[in-house]
Chains A and B, each alone.
Chain A
Amino acid sequence: MPHWLTGRDRDLLAEAVRDALDGRLVHPLAAFHLEDVLSELHVAAARDAVWPASAARVRLATGMAQDVLPVRLSAAELTSVLELPTLPTTLRGLLGRGRA
């Protein structure tokens, strides 16, 4: 299931991931997954540029803002993100939803 993130959410996520990678604070395997998270943030925007209709339908049906995009992370990528100690609380809540 994708995570529907605003532009601000995506910026915060990218910043947290970049900080962790720049600070070499993560295990090399986690770093590999975090690099893929950064890619996905770009790919999510590219996906919306190529095929905007499906996300637009969801936004219309749910009343979400125009800058909200579906971001699709693998389980390993999501785990790597949630293990970041510097992840903002709001993002932790958004991304951790459904992972009790």
Chain B
Amino acid sequence: MGNRFGGSSAGLLQRLRPARIDVADLREVASDVLPVLATPGLRLDVVQRSGAGSVVVLEEDERHLRVHLDELADDMTRAGVAPTRDGISAALSSWVAHRPVTDAAAATSGIAVLDWQDRSETAVGWRVVVRRGELALPWAPSAAADAPGVHRARSAATGRAHDVRLELRVQGPVALWAHPVVPMLATAALVAPERILDCIGAAGLDLPDMHVVITPHRPVACAGPAIAARLAGETTEASVTLPWRSLADLPWI
């Protein structure tokens, strides 16, 4: 994840000519910040190891992460994190917030959304994400997760997606759906396209052959096929346009 340290701490100059994050500074901040971020289920620690350098330990259920402090400092440097106490502290908090999603969290609070199937950004599929504040983190089932458990988590996430409240804006022949806080949740409503059609109809727009223009992390646009093609065809941005009836057939990723 390119933005796991948060993106707002560094200016352009800082990212172009990043100042080095000192390992000793990071250790000092981590020793103060990590205990505050830890919870009964989330262990966060800096383990001092003589000769091999210090290691940051992150443990939550089946997820175990050990990262050498000097590697974390290098990653922060490359990400352009400001080499101040506040900058490192914010980056560390963001890094913890971006930690892997546990199977239990996916099962109890997962939400189904559409995401890119791979880096080529040419196809989308359903994915379970877990919301942490303004973030939505993807769930990758652990090796211990069995098929029935994964199926239950996905089914429950689909159910929760129905309850995500989105904002609808009608722009002429286009209906736009957006989430006010977490952009990735905008596609959650697509688990129930018939309900979307009803809402759009109630807003005065009739779309019997609704097509959906999807760019994960961006608002969802719904329109007739010709308008949808015009919308997506005249931009260089990656997107997928689908008739609403095919949404249910998209694979899980």
Interface residues of A (CB under 8 A from B): 2, 38-43, 45-47, 49-51, 53-54, 72
Distance in Å from the Cβ of A49 to the closest Cβ of chain B? 5
Interface residues of B (CB under 8 A from A): 169, 171-174, 176, 178, 213, 215, 218-219, 221, 223, 227, 230-231, 234-237, 239
Cβ-defined contact, B173 with A47, below 8 A: no
Cβ-defined contact, B172 with A47, below 8 A: no
Secondary structure at the A interface, as helix, strand, loop or mixed, is helix
Cβ-defined contact, B169 with A54, below 8 A: no
- The total of interchain contacts (Cβ-Cβ below 8 angstroms) comes to 56
Residues of A within 8 A of B230 (CB): 39-40, 43
Distance in Å from the Cβ of B67 to the closest Cβ of chain A? 31
Residue in B218, B231, B236 whose beta carbon sits within 8 Å of that of A54 in the complex = B236
- Tell me, in angstroms, the Cα distance from A43 to B232 when the chains sit together: 10
Residues of B within 8 A of A47 (CB): 231, 234-235
Cβ-defined contact, A43 with B174, below 8 A: yes
Distance in Å from the Cβ of B9 to the closest Cβ of chain A? 20
Which residue of chain A has the shortest Cβ distance to B238 in the bound complex? A51
Cβ-defined contact, A41 with B213, below 8 A: no
Residues of A within 8 A of B223 (CB): 46
Residue in A38, A45, A49, A51 whose beta carbon sits within 8 Å of that of B237 in the complex = A51
30 contacts between A and B (CB under 8 A): A38-B172, A39-B173, A39-B230, A42-B171, A42-B174, A43-B173, A43-B174, A43-B227, A43-B231, A45-B171, A45-B172, A46-B174, A47-B234, A49-B169, A49-B171, A49-B176, A49-B219, A49-B221, A50-B215, A50-B218, A50-B219, A50-B221, A50-B231, A50-B237, A50-B239, A51-B215, A51-B218, A51-B235, A54-B236, A54-B237
